[in-house]
Amino acid sequence: MELWKKVTGLNLHEGYGQTETTLVCCRNDYIPYKLGSMGKSSPDLVVGIINDEGKIVEPCTEGNIAILTKPARPLGLFNQYLNDPVRTAASFLGDWYLTGDMGYMDEEDFVFFVGRGDDVINSAGYRIGPFEVESALLEHPAVLESAVVSSPDETRGEVVKAFVVVKPEYRHIHADKLTVDLQDLVKRTTAPYKYPRKIEFVTDLPKTVSGKIRRVELRNKEWQHLRE
């Protein structure tokens, strides 16, 4: 985002939505720019950050990104998952639709994305969203793609692990040196506790037919031996 602004002089207009919803949040020329935010709730929606009991949390506190469904159901919100009443029921908590994503809202009602609920890493009591770490890794000129997941650890329970695809012209760099460089970059860009303690260099990443990285496949690979 900052690099785009520096190179082009323009701000990116971000938006957030799902197949189950219309546009949930957006940022445009009528809303002040705030780095890292997805903007504010769409005019026809009430977006809230709630805890697992369905209560609104304090500003800047991480929770479930949710949409209020009462007194009137928002236009464009799905009715149900076809032939899947269990999944449909799990997507609602009281008067709220649960997006399945984690985030927080600041005092000015700007919404910030942390990650999918099952993607967030809980390491030694710290909750770490993969998106922020991936974005930091992509700032390194050698990184073509990255995916961040949890990996089991005896001391911390979970640690951050990054799968990294290196650009061809940088593959001559020794893996140990590049690992340290990437770890230091994440420490500087985000926070020291968010850096990937494990980095695996790969030739490609698993993706859906639409090109989205399948973190779930990488995460399952990390935890598979504990489930057997």
- pLDDT on residue 4: 78
- pLDDT on residue 213: 92
CATH code, domain carrying 53: 2.30.38.10
* Domain boundary residue, one of 114, 136, 164: 114
Q: Does 227 have pLDDT greater than 80?
A: no
Question: What pLDDT digit, counting tens, does each position of 162-219 carry?
Answer: 999 999 999 999 999 999 999 999 999 999 999 999 999 999 999 998 888 999 999 9
Q: Are residues 69 and 125 in the same domain?
A: no
CA–CA separation, 66 and 48 (whole Å): 5
Q: Are residues 138 and 222 in the same domain?
A: yes
Q: Are residues 161 and 204 in the same domain?
A: yes
Q: Are residues 128 and 81 in the same domain?
A: no
Q: What is the pTM of this model?
A: 0.74
- pLDDT on residue 12: 78
* Domain boundary residue, one of 59, 86, 114: 114
Q: Report the domain count for the chain.
A: 2
Q: Which domain holds residue 67?
A: 2-114
Residue 35 banded pLDDT, cuts 50, 70, 90? confident
